[in-house]
């Protein structure tokens, strides 16, 4: 498969904008979700690195990383190979949808990825009677940043939300305890503006307090749910 990715150094960067978007989609299909759990630590990290190379249109790095795949595949379990095969098929179809470009390099990549993916995904996965299921891993992705959701992080978030709620409540009480009669300004317009700002600040503070309360309760319940699933 690595031969299909031996391309001119600027090949990916020279793709039209719509094909660059398709390349990003192919990168997502290759490495989205719990890729390290499904494909193994080393292969999962390599797939993530390949995806990043595609996202920044780094053709040379892509070719170097893809050349490592055959060696890594030899260390995989049948389950890992099947998972890799499905990812290759999905990503290969993204290349296939790009159509003819240049000398047909994208279609060659698609053909090789889909063919390799079909071979790997057709490997029967043996069921082990005493194999313990791995705990479910949930991820939040913000661009290139991926954050794993755990019960500990949920509880920490609940504490932060609770503290923020207390601060918002105390601030609202401080504003509320200031009587409007104490507001003295040069003219009526300034006084009306000050009263409006005071009302808006109170609304923001009370809203923040309520939302913090909901967030605290929700995160505590969610943390308990993740903790029970991890047992």
Q: Give per-residue pLDDT as tens, 119-161.
A: 998 888 765 434 445 555 555 554 555 556 677 887 888 888 8
**For residues 195 and 180, is the Cβ–Cβ distance under 8 A?**
yes
Percent of the chain with pLDDT over 70: 81
User: Of 60, 204, 225, which is closest to residue 135 (Cα–Cα)?
Assistant: 225
pTM exceeds 0.85 for this model: no
pLDDT over 80 at 89, yes or no? yes
3-state secondary structure of 147: strand
Alpha helices in 56-97 (DSSP H): 59-66, 69-73, 78-96
Nearest to 223 by CA among 165, 126, 152, 119: 152
Q: Is residue 62 pLDDT above 50, yes or no?
A: yes
pLDDT at 84: 95
Q: What is the dihedral of CA 39, 45, 49, 50, to 10 degrees?
A: -20
């Amino acid at each position: 498969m690595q031969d299909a990715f031996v391309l001119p150094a600027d090949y990916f960067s020279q793709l039209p904008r719509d094909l660059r978007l398709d390349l990003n989609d192919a990168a997502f299909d290759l490495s989205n979700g719990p890729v390290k759990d499904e494909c193994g630590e080393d292969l999962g990290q390599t797939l993530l690195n390949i995806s990043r190379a595609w996202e920044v249109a780094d053709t040379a790095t892509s070719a170097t990383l893809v050349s490592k795949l055959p060696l890594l595949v030899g260390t995989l379990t049948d389950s890992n190979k099947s998972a890799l095969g499905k990812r290759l098929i999905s990503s290969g179809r993204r290349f296939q949808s790009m159509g003819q470009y240049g000398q047909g390099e994208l279609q060659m990549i698609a053909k090789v990825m889909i063919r390799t993916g079909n071979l790997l995904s057709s490997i029967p996965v043996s069921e082990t009677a005493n194999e313990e299921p791995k705990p479910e891993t949930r991820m939040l992705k913000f661009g290139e940043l991926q954050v794993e959701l755990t019960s500990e992080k949920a509880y920490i978030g609940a504490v932060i939300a609770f503290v923020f709620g207390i601060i918002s409540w105390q601030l609202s009480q401080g504003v509320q305890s200031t009587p409007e009669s104490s507001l003295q300004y040069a003219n009526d317009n300034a006084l009306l503006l000050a009263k409006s700002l005071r009302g808006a600040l109170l609304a923001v503070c009370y809203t923040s307090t309520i939302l913090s309360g909901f967030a605290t309760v929700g995160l505590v319940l969610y943390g308990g749910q993740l903790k029970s699933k991890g047992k």
